[in-house]
Amino acid sequence: MERQIIEDLNGMPGKHPLSPLVREDRMPHIWCPGCDIGTIFSSCLTAIHESKMNPDDFTIVSGIGCSGRAAGYVKLDSFHTTHGRAIPFATGLKIAKPHMKVIVFSGDGDLFTIGGNHFIHAARRNMDLIIICVNNFTYGMTGGQVASSTPFRAKTTTTPSGNFENPFNLSYIAAASGAVYVSRWTTLHIRRLTSSILEAFQKKGFSFVEVVSSCPTSFGRKNKLGSPLDIIKNFHKISVIKNGIHPKDADLDIHKEIVVGKFVDIERPTFFDLLEDIYPPEKEKGNE
């Protein structure tokens, strides 16, 4: 998909180009200074704009958490649902409106810890959804507790002496569960992230985009990662792009190496393809 420079949608020089997709009556948003959820959100909106599809064909469903607040800031039909249950809600919505692009924008805790079961089943079914997971290694909104993606030995408020559980490799879980598109980027790889999201829009089936992010306010402070800018500079230093490798080899260690790239891009029949196969569209009449 070719990238094009953003043009102002309504020809007025005084407004931000993404204004038509942002609920400006709720700006400035609640995310902390330096929190890159805003950047990832902006990237998602840029992708919606650049896809040249009708924006009303998009809808965003999110769960609970800082990333989950994104649904409240996008000027599209959006749903802010319960913790961990964004994916089944999105499944129901997609079944009712198969022509729409349903994006699930949520965090690592919401999608993989409490929502882990729903994630793997939606991937297994190859439900036609686009999942954007903001991975900040913690439960940010509640103050920085340990989550399933928290690195080994990291300090959080509920593991004050260090996390002694091993974290998930989110991209690996997505690929193993059957996602047809898996990629991981950091917030700094913003243009590649936008391209990835655009590719995910075109893909039929369960697409997963993991964005390595940071929570400078809770996780960052507790683990002495520095200012928000220091965290981003660290991403710059230690991230390496390896497109096409197997996600199990895609290490994610915020002190040593972050492997990013497009890991999986395959074709598989979707839920709707298989449904049509078993129940061909012509209706069978009659009761028993």
Neighbours of 238 (CB within 10 A): 15
- In the bound state with other proteins, the residue whose beta carbon lies nearer, of 111 and 250, is 111
Write out the E strands in 3-95: 58-62, 77-80
> Which residue has tokens 């230093």?
237
Q: What distance in Å separates the CA atoms of residue 152 and residue 167, rounded to the nearest whole number?
A: 7
CB of 203 to other proteins, least distance (A): 20
Residue 121 or 155 with smaller CB distance to other proteins: 121
Please report how close the Cβ of residue 93 comes to other proteins at its closest, in angstroms. 4
Strand, coil or helix: 79: strand
Residue bearing tokens 């999105």 = 90
CB 236, min distance to other proteins, A: 9
| Nearer CB in complex with other proteins: 83/155 | 83
When the beta carbons of 224 and 277 are compared against other proteins, the nearer one is 277
Tell me which DSSP letter residue 190 carries: H
Q: How far is the CB of 151 from other proteins (least distance, A)?
A: 23
Shortest distance, position 44 Cβ to other proteins, whole Å: 12
For other proteins, the closer CB: 57 or 265: 57
How would DSSP label each residue in 192-258? HHHHHHHHHHHSSS-EEEEEE---IIIIIHHTT--SHHHHHHHHHHHEEE-TT--GGG--EETTTEE
